[in-house]
Structure 1
């Protein structure tokens, strides 16, 4: 499950650019679980500018690999999935192609069938979280990311994505988001995605001091991050206390 670049809307404006995940196998940045073919990356309007891929497949900010999907290919995958309901690969392929054409409900349907076939498959569980996330259903995304973390609690990228669900849900829970990002940073103090998202959470919470401290750390760790200027601009716009 590689995805690429996605997340937010900060005090005033930030729901900018970020590329949704590359739907395939493997969602870790450093310890990915390689198992299936990589697929496309989608743009999720909810992400901060320059945000790395949500499931962390190791893609760099700004990379957007989006293969062209023909409807013939989609129809073929659908037929195979219908004819082979117990075939894991067929369900995953149909889910992948539906994700690429933004038919998230259908992608979820095939992913759930794949989950029935292989209930312990980590890739499927994270892909369900990713697809619910990109569909805007953050409560369900939380459920699947949390399940994934019971299997691999050290997965920093999935925990970071879990944190995002608390920023985007209605009502948001910034304290819980901060807790998840800080848990990631406790293991990897230089995790750029967690630093970026933590800056967003502090900004939206109204804590300019911590937001500034965090974006400064991000600038040290990832000086070419395209979102830094916007993050600082939004911090500057915060009401003075």
Structure 2
């Protein structure tokens, strides 16, 4: 299964187990070098570094507030709020950036990811669909959209299958899509299609650590046992 840790928000690394799509990384990491907190060792330097970081945070947020039409300033503010774990504010600044550049795929897709992380799947769906309108050939957008239908309560596996199949038309060996497709079929209690998709996953990514757990779930479905499909 694809390790979404590499699809970071383009901020400071995986500080909170937060998983963001590749669009942000591909674009903004090219132009923004960010040093993770604590990268310079020594207790003696810790306090000055923390003070400097907080001063930088304040300056970044002040710039965004004073320059509401500055796209990069809004993006930087979103990045800063993400760094300090304030996801709701990060979303708001990304939405400000989105208002300035509504066709920016990076911002649009990541608003969807952030809403997904907050389990606001209706809003996530809205922004993923906008992102697909901007970049209809990006398989990962359909994967993320499909995943929202798996994660909802109640789940909507038929809609998930539809979006994941679209992703696989673009990238037939996308292991992220294949894994979610297995999950959708499991939710539908369709052991045959889940097993066929598992074979495709084995071919696409034979070292995936999820293969054995999927096989167990498929066996449980065949046996009529209740299952719990893992959530991301």
2:198 to 207, 215, 218: 215
**Equivalent in the alignment of 1:23:** 9
- 1:229 Cα shift? 1.6
Q: Contact 1:74–1:97 (CA<8 Å) still a contact in 2?
A: yes
Shift of the alpha carbon at 1:54? 5.3
Which has the higher relative contact order, 1 or 2, with Cα contacts under 8 A spaced 6 or more apart? 1
Normalization by structure 2: what TM-score?
A: 0.76
Q: CA deviation at 1:214?
A: 0.9
Q: Give 1:240 deviation, angstroms.
A: 2.2
More helix by share: 2
2:58 paired with 1:75: yes
The corresponding residue for 1:140 is 123
Q: CA shift at 1:174, angstroms?
A: 0.3
The gaps in structure 2 that reach 5 residues or longer are 26-34, 39-52, 225-232
* Rg (Cα) greater in structure: 2
Cα distance in 2 for residues equivalent to 1:182 and 1:5: 20
Using the TM superposition, give the Cα deviation of residue 78 of structure 1 relative to its aligned residue in structure 2, in angstroms: 1.5
Equivalent in the alignment of 1:201: 184
Displacement after TM superposition at 1:180 (Å): 0.7
1:190 aligns with 2:159: no
Query: How far did residue 20 of structure 1 move?
Result: 8.7
- Distance change (3 Å), C-alpha of 1:203 and 1:158: same
Structure 1 segments of 4+ aligned residues over 6 angstroms from their partners: none
Alignment match of 1:40 (pick from 13, 29, 32): 13
| Per-residue deviation, residues 203-238 of structure 1 (Å, max 9, x unmatched) | 122111111111121011101112212222222222
The number of residues matched between the two structures is 200
Q: Structure 1 residue 239: deviation in Å?
A: 5.2
Q: TM-score, normalised by structure 1?
A: 0.74
Q: CA deviation at 1:102?
A: 2.8
Name the residue aligned to 1:56.
22
The alpha-carbon distance between structure 1 residues 54 and 96, as it changes in their structure 2 partners (threshold 3 A), is: closer
Q: Distance in 2 between matches of 1:184 and 1:173?
A: 17
